[in-house]
């Protein structure tokens, strides 16, 4: 993601401080007495997706992570503007999340328009590489799943293969996800658009989507 207006970051961080997570005793504090479900967005972008989910699903807690402070500032600011109190943003690399969240504690993991890392030697960095799928499987509840959206056909094909070879079950797949939201399904994540998705759709680019469940523990 291209990061503009970096000079605004300190002000945004101050304004949205209540929406930014810090660890406590090596864990991310989540009030599980209040929320029925906890969901994780890996790479939260500018925050439109996760803040909109928070607005439409008040019984669920949403955690967005990204490793760039500039992105964190904008995502947290979006939630602050909307005044959603069930969304938090944390500056984290996905590889560190396993130590900060309990096993089998996440209901859904969202991968929206992740970096495609197009060069072959960088395939291990793709967020749907088997190494990452193994991490997600540890974090997900017994009925938990991953939802993915991307404009990149090569990344999507790679991801489908990666899920299948890693023993996951793809229960939904769409190579041209409709922009029209079915009545009564406005709260579903697959129909909530990120900033990238809005731009790609305006250019007529097809959006690829899948939903997958991890293999059951033996």
Domain ranges of the chain: 36-213
More confidently predicted of 218 and 92: 92
Q: Which CATH class is domain 36-213?
A: alpha beta
Residues linked to residue 183 through DSSP beta bridges, in sequence order? none
Buried b (16+ CB within 10 A) or exposed e, 144-180: bbbbbbbbbeebbebbbebbeebebebeeeeeebeee
**Which residue out of 17, 85, 93, 115 is catalytically annotated?**
115
Residue 17 a catalytic site member = no
Nearest of 18, 53, 16, 25 to residue 38 by alpha carbon = 53
Average pLDDT over residues 28-49: 89
| The predicted structure's pLDDT at residue 2 | 46
Flag whether pLDDT at 176 surpasses 70: yes
Please give the model's pTM, rounded to 2 decimal places.
Answer: 0.90
Flag whether pLDDT at 1 surpasses 60: no
pLDDT averaged over every residue in the chain: 88
Flag whether pLDDT at 83 surpasses 90: no
- How far apart are the C-alpha atoms of 95 and 132, rounded to whole Å? 8
Average pLDDT over residues 61-81: 82
Average pLDDT over residues 177-189: 92
2-22 residue pLDDT tens: 445 566 666 666 666 656 766
- Do 98 and 139 touch, CB atoms closer than 8 A? yes
- Do 126 and 117 touch, CB atoms closer than 8 A? yes
């Amino acid at each position: 993601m291209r990061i503009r207006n970096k000079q605004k970051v300190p002000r945004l961080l101050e304004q949205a401080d209540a929406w930014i997570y810090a660890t406590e005793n090596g864990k991310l504090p989540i009030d599980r007495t209040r929320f029925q479900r906890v969901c994780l967005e890996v790479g939260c972008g500018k925050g439109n997706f996760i803040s909109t989910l928070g607005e439409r699903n008040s019984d669920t807690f949403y955690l967005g992570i990204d490793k760039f402070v500039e992105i964190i500032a904008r995502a947290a600011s979006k939630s602050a503007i909307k005044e959603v109190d069930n969304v938090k943003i944390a500056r984290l690399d996905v590889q560190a999340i396993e130590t900060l969240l309990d096993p089998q504690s996440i209901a859904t993991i969202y991968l929206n328009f992740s970096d495609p890392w197009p060069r072959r030697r960088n395939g291990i960095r793709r967020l749907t590489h088997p190494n990452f799928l193994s991490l997600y499987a540890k974090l997900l509840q017994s009925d938990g799943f991953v939802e993915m959206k991307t404009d990149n056909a090569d990344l999507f094909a790679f991801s489908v293969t990666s899920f299948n070879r890693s023993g996951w079950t793809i229960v939904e797949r769409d190579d041209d996800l409709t922009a029209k939201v079915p009545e009564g399904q406005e709260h579903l994540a697959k129909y909530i658009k990120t900033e990238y998705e809005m731009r790609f759709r305006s250019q007529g680019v097809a959006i690829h989507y899948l939903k997958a469940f991890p293999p059951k523990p033996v």
